[in-house]
């Protein structure tokens, strides 16, 4: 039963991430419900889903944008630094402290995911960021991504929009690359620190890749708004459950 839970959750997460994002709302709770301690569950969730992000980045390789006034290498560097720091913060967070933070992290991620589609255009009309501000905010997003990561992609897309990027394929390409790389360095930190539950991780990794592949094939037939609504409902349900557990 536990294996089935992990397989289904990872497959759903891979499908969700390929269409709209939000896979963390399934993988992290599934690992906790399977008995994995919360800090290790978060690290294992990252290990399980990060190959899909790198695969998506490769698929987007022809769409990477040239960012006026800013080297892509600089954005990559601050993202990697933030991802490493976020991972280290997670590793050194006491289990009981993280358990208290989890419901609030899930709630924040759900609200950001729900508001992202409307919030980004509103902010774009009122705010324009320069290269320095972009790097600082991207570092903070990457830090959050290394620590937890829910709705990180929404944050990045909003940031790129405030900087002036408008090509959604180019924005998605950059977001996917940065998310994949910062998760990759976070994974290295988690592995070195011994914070990965390998049996669940490998089960979920295979299932998440299958879900991502399936999602990529059927994405054009799915209504993204319907998918987003389902993800938001899942996020709210998981938030309520973890508040009750706390």
Q: Structural domain boundaries of the chain?
A: 2-245
Q: Tokens in use for 172?
A: 């998605």
- Give the DSSP H/E element, type plus range, for residue 36: none
pLDDT given at position 92: 93
Q: Please report where in the chains the tokens 């490769």 appear, as a residue.
A: 58
pLDDT given at position 241: 86
pLDDT given at position 177: 81
d(CA 184, CA 230): 28
d(CA 156, CA 65): 14
Q: Tokens in use for 139?
A: 């570092």
Residue 38, exposed/middle/buried by CB under 10 A (0-12, 13-18, 19+)? buried
Q: Tokens in use for 217?
A: 């094939």
d(CA 108, CA 206): 29
d(CA 76, CA 185): 12
∠ at Cα 208 (4, 2), nearest 5°? 20
DSSP state of 164: T
d(CA 8, CA 201): 13
d(CA 29, CA 221): 28
Residues 6+ apart with CB under 8 A from 161: 120, 121, 123, 124, 171
Mean pLDDT per block of 10 residues along the chain (246 residues) reads 88 76 84 92 89 69 66 87 94 91 88 76 74 89 88 80 75 80 90 93 88 66 73 85 82
């Amino acid at each position: 039963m536990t294996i089935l839970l992990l397989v289904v959750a990872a497959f759903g997460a891979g499908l969700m991430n390929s269409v709209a994002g939000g896979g963390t709302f399934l993988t992290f709770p599934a690992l906790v419900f399977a008995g994995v301690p919360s800090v290790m569950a978060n690290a294992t969730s990252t290990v399980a889903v990060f190959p899909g992000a790198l695969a998506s980045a490769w698929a987007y390789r022809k769409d990477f944008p040239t960012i006026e006034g800013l080297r892509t290498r600089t954005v990559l560097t601050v993202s990697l630094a933030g991802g490493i720091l976020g991972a280290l913060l997670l590793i050194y967070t006491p289990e009981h402290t993280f358990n208290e933070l989890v419901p609030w992290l899930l709630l924040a991620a759900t609200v950001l995911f729900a508001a992202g589609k409307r919030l980004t255009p509103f902010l774009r009309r009122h705010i324009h960021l320069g290269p320095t501000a972009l790097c600082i905010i991207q570092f903070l997003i990457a830090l959050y991504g290394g620590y937890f990561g829910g709705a990180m992609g929404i944050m990045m897309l909003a940031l790129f929009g405030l900087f002036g990027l408008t090509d959604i394929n180019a924005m998605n390409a950059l977001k996917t690359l940065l998310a994949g790389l910062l998760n990759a360095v976070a994974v290295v930190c988690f592995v070195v620190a011994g914070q990965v539950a390998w049996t669940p991780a490998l089960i979920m990794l295979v299932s998440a890749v299958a879900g991502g592949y399936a999602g990529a094939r059927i994405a054009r037939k799915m209504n993204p708004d319907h998918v987003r609504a389902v993800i938001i409902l899942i996020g709210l349900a998981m938030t309520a459950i973890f508040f009750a557990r706390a």
